[in-house]
Amino acid sequence: MREFVGGVLALGLILAVPATGGAQEWEQLSASRKVSDRAPMDVRVRYGVGRLQIRPGDPGTLYRMELRFDREHFAPVIEHRPGRLELGTETRGRNLNLKGHQDGGELDLELSPDVPMDLVLEFGAVRASVDLGGLELTDLEVATGASESTLDFSRPTRGNVRTAELNVGAADFLARNLGNLRAERLEVGAGVGEVTLDFGGEWTRDMRVDVSMGLGALELRVPEDLGVTLHKDSFLTSLEAEGLERDGDLYRSANWTSARHKLTIELDAAFGSIRVVRTR
């Protein structure tokens, strides 16, 4: 069922206001929908340019969205049907000059922690602050473009995520509290930029992490009580592994055998630097 202007709990359009010094015309849209049942949903959020914030919302509300967009170049996407929800924006036309859009558009989104979700987040030239802590995730995929992004799991997630995927483009990317993600496996693909993976949080299971890096800097922040094994397959990449003992391409913490939970990391990197930091 297509939900745009009609069929939504709250949906408001404010008259367009021309942007100062340009031809852009901004509109403000508000939309929300109540939870009708707890059936699992495929949820996809796409946002190309601007500022993005995603966080947990009220359990009784499936989503609540506030969107500011340039109506000449972007169109809102609000589509709901049984088992599927799509939110965000799509571009109008093909020749879009991104200059002037990064600081103007905004998407503020809340998602229900009470509905199991296969969640896909796709965003491009954005400044993103995403907190998925407390959501009931059954699958997770995050793809970024030329962005400055923070992904946080401030509280343990619910559900059972087997494999989570983070695909990072030319970006500065920080993922915090990955122990709260509670995934069996995490796959990270990074192109160019600086990537920080923080494995803090409440650990309840072991995790395997596969990281593929192009050109850039990678920092791994690992709590001291985790047992860590790291295998590096790299070309011209430096590795600083604090608190890990080296045996060829294998690095291992002294508490590997005795640790309650274990983190296994496979690194495939071409150029750049890798740093492992043990945290408390």
For 150-164, write each residue's pLDDT tens digit.
999 999 999 999 999
Is the confidence at residue 23, as pLDDT, over 70? no
Residue at 227 is within a domain: yes
| Cβ(125)–Cβ(146) below 8 Å | yes
Q: pLDDT, tens digit, for every residue of 219-244?
A: 999 999 999 999 988 766 788 998 99
Residue at 4 is within a domain: no
Residue at 5 is within a domain: no
Residue at 114 is within a domain: yes
pLDDT of 7:
34
pLDDT of 111:
98
Taking the C-alpha atoms of residue 153 and residue 132, their distance in angstroms, rounded to an integer, is 5
Instruction: Give me the number of domains the chain comprises.
Output: 1
- CATH number, domain containing residue 170: 2.160.20
Give me the domain span that covers residue 114: 10-279
Is the confidence at residue 11, as pLDDT, over 60? no
pLDDT of 170:
87
Is the confidence at residue 96, as pLDDT, over 80? no
Residue at 134 is within a domain: yes
pLDDT of 242:
86
Residue at 118 is within a domain: yes
Residue at 252 is within a domain: yes
Q: Read off the pTM.
A: 0.88
Tell me what the mean pLDDT of segment 140-153 comes to: 95
Strands (E), the chain: 10-18, 25-34, 41-56, 61-70, 74-81, 84-91, 106-111, 117-131, 137-144, 148-152, 161-168, 171-176, 183-198, 207-223, 227-241, 244-247, 250-253, 262-279
Residue at 2 is within a domain: no
Taking the C-alpha atoms of residue 19 and residue 24, their distance in angstroms, rounded to an integer, is 5
Q: Which residue has the higher pLDDT, 130 or 13?
A: 130
Is the confidence at residue 18, as pLDDT, over 60? no
